[in-house]
Amino acid sequence: MRKIIHCDCDCFYASIEMRDDPSLRGRPLAVGGRPETRGVVATCNYEARKFGVHSAMSSARAVRLCPDLLIIPPRMEMYRVASAQIMDIYRDYTELVEPLSLDEAYLDVTGSDRLQGSATRIAGEIRQRVAQAVGITVSAGVAPSKFVAKIASDWNKPDGLFVVRPQDVDAFVAALPVSKLHGVGKVTGARLKALGVETCADLRTWEHDRLRDEFGVFGERLHDLCRGIDHREVSPTRERKSVSVEQTFVTDLHTLEACQDLLREMLDQLDARVRRADAQNHIQKLFVKLRFSDFNRTTAEGVGAALDEEQFRILLATAFRRNPRAVRLMGLGVRLGAPGGQLALFGDQTVSEPDTV
């Protein structure tokens, strides 16, 4: 039986800003891009969330919901420094630390002899140390699997700890809404609801073959998750699957030519990121992503082993012709394989930030 802890910093970017400037505390705060440049909220504090503001929301909408909202630009270097401090604390307890982002990680403490091997006590001490050393709060979930631990960490947010003991997993998961299952988004959730499935207990009444017929391979995953079954191990190194750059435009681009005029500059940015990730020899596919003025999105991709400008132009033209609307966002990227071994996701970490031109 494994002992897994999922640690998640509470509104990480905003917490760092409030730590460094106490005058920001108690007022609605977001970190992200400016409303007038089609910026996006990266994160916000709990005062802002009371108004319905959340991450990935456009800054313009966030301000409409909360007119007193203060939006400040991200300081990624400060967040990376804080993240490194936090990850060092985690590794005092186990080498099996799997970062998911700057502010989130899984820890497998099954073999740890710290605090008599108690995962609950380890999680509690970690939270205390992060608060004292870094000055922000961390919520944690403790469970026998990654799936349940991640849900548990959100149970008592902010600044909370929730433990799901092995004997309680079955009942805990049975009561969960299916929307909590990894991979169940709005579309799948609505589909399940239309089929009369709202909780994991409801989903358990479906036979394995019926789930597979209805949802394909994902049906097998649903069969396991609704029963709390998750055999994934905590992996200290995770494979980087893609590298990309994107830009959101202040003014929509109405022609293919206008998009192509920006291609060279964005390709240079992508090349720099690929080199920082040491991924030049791992490229397997190229892709172009567009978001149109009606917020529909499309991605065109093709096989490629290098950053070929002409191929990107072809993919851009393919994507552009799929929707007769103007373009508000364009992204370029590569999908990676690992012929020489895994690519370290966190060796030279880059974080996507809202870009505007």
One of 104, 207, 301, 353 is an active-site residue; which one?
Answer: 104
Closest CA to 320 of 334, 300, 345, 295: 300
The span from the CA of 91 to the CA of 96, in Å, is 8
User: How many Cα atoms are found within 13 Å in the side-chain-facing hemisphere of 279?
Assistant: 31
User: How many Cα atoms are found within 13 Å in the side-chain-facing hemisphere of 108?
Assistant: 16
User: How many Cα atoms are found within 13 Å in the side-chain-facing hemisphere of 302?
Assistant: 15
Closest CA to 270 of 254, 255, 287, 258: 287
Could you tell me if 84 and 9 are in contact, meaning their C-beta atoms sit under 8 angstroms apart? no
Q: Any binding-site annotation on 8?
A: yes
Is residue 104 annotated as a catalytic residue, yes or no? yes
Q: Any binding-site annotation on 268?
A: no
The span from the CA of 11 to the CA of 205, in Å, is 37
Question: Would you give the distance in Å from CA 293 to the centre of its chain?
Answer: 24
Annotated binding site for Mg(2+): 8, 103
Catalytic positions, written as ranges:
104
Annotated binding site: 8, 103
